[in-house]
C-alpha cells in the first residue's frame, strides 16, 4: 500500500484527494464556527474556551498540520512528475471547460498563496490564542485573553491592510477549492457525462460557501470598525 501511495500516480492523487477532503470538511467547520462571532461574541468565546489548548484540540491541530504538509508535499511531487512527463503541460482534467483552464494549470501557485495566507492566519490567531495557552501565558501580546477570540477578530480586521490580504487569500482559496474539489471527484472515478455537471456544481457550491462564510466575517468586522 505504501508503495502504491508513494510511487503510483493514481496513489499520489488519491492522497491529495483524501487529505483535501479532510481539509475541506475542517474549513466548513471552522467557517461555521467563525460565523458565530457575527451573532454573539460571548458564544464565540465559549467555543474558543472549549477548544483552546485542551488535549483534543491540540491533537486535532497536529493532525491538521500533518494533512496540510502531506497535501502540499504531494502537490509538489505531482507537479514535478507532470513537468517530467509532459514538459510545461500540467495535469489536465478529463473534460476541459472554458474558464477553468487557468486554475487547473496554476494549482501549485494557488496552493502557495493559500499556504502563505495560512501562515498569516496562524500568526494573527493561533499564535495569540492556543500557543499562548500552551506556553502558560494568560495574555497575548495585545493584552487580550487567549480565549477572547471575538476581540482578536475585531482588532485584526479593523486594519484595512489585513482585510485586503485576507480577501486576496480567500479569492485564491476559492479558485483552489473550486478546481480541487472537482479533481477529488475525478480521482475517484466520478467524472462521467452524467455526473460531470452535477459535480462541477457541487464543487462550486462547496468552495463558494466556504469562502463567502470566511469573507463575511472579515468584511463585517471591518465595517463595524469604521
Quick: pLDDT tens for 16-52.
888 888 898 999 999 999 999 999 999 999 999 999 8
Question: Which single residue is written with the C-alpha cell 508503495?
Answer: 3
What is d(CA 203, CA 183) in angstroms, rounded to the nearest whole number?
9
Per DSSP, the residues of 168-187 read HHHHHHHHHHHHHHHHHHHH
Cα 188 to Cα 224: distance, rounded to the nearest angstrom: 44
What is the pTM for the complete model shown?
0.84
Q: What is the pLDDT of residue 94?
A: 44
pLDDT, residue 173, reads 92
Would the pLDDT of 158 be above 90? yes
Contact between 167 and 141 under an 8 Å Cβ cutoff? The reply is no
Domains and CATH numbers, the chain: 17-225 (1.20.1300)
Q: What is the pLDDT of residue 208?
A: 93
End-to-end CA distance of the chain: 55
Amino acid at each position: 500500500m505504501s508503495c502504491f501511495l508513494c510511487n503510483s500516480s493514481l496513489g499520489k492523487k488519491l492522497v491529495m484527494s483524501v487529505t483535501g477532503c479532510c481539509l475541506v470538511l475542517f474549513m466548513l467547520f471552522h467557517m461555521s464556527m467563525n460565523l458565530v462571532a457575527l451573532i454573539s461574541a460571548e458564544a464565540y468565546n465559549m467555543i474558543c474556551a472549549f477548544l483552546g489548548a485542551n488535549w483534543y484540540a491540540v491533537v486535532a491541530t497536529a493532525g491538521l498540520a500533518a494533512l496540510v504538509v502531506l497535501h502540499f508535499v504531494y502537490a509538489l511531487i505531482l507537479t514535478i512528475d507532470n513537468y517530467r512527463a509532459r514538459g510545461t503541460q500540467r495535469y489536465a482534467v478529463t473534460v476541459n471547460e472554458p474558464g477553468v483552464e487557468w486554475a487547473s494549470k496554476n494549482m501549485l501557485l494557488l496552493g502557495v498563496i493559500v499556504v502563505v495566507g495560512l501562515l498569516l492566519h496562524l500568526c494573527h490567531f493561533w499564535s495569540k490564542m492556543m500557543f499562548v495557552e500552551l506556553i502558560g501565558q494568560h495574555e497575548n501580546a495585545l493584552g487580550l485573553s487567549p480565549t477572547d477570540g471575538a476581540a482578536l477578530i475585531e482588532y485584526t480586521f479593523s486594519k484595512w491592510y489585513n482585510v485586503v490580504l485576507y480577501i486576496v487569500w480567500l479569492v485564491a482559496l476559492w479558485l483552489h477549492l473550486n478546481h480541487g474539489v472537482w479533481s477529488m471527484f475525478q480521482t475517484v472515478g466520478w467524472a462521467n457525462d452524467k455526473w460531470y455537471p452535477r459535480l462541477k456544481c457541487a464543487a462550486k457550491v462547496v468552495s463558494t460557501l466556504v469562502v463567502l462564510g470566511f469573507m463575511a466575517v472579515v468584511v463585517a468586522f471591518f465595517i463595524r470598525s469604521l
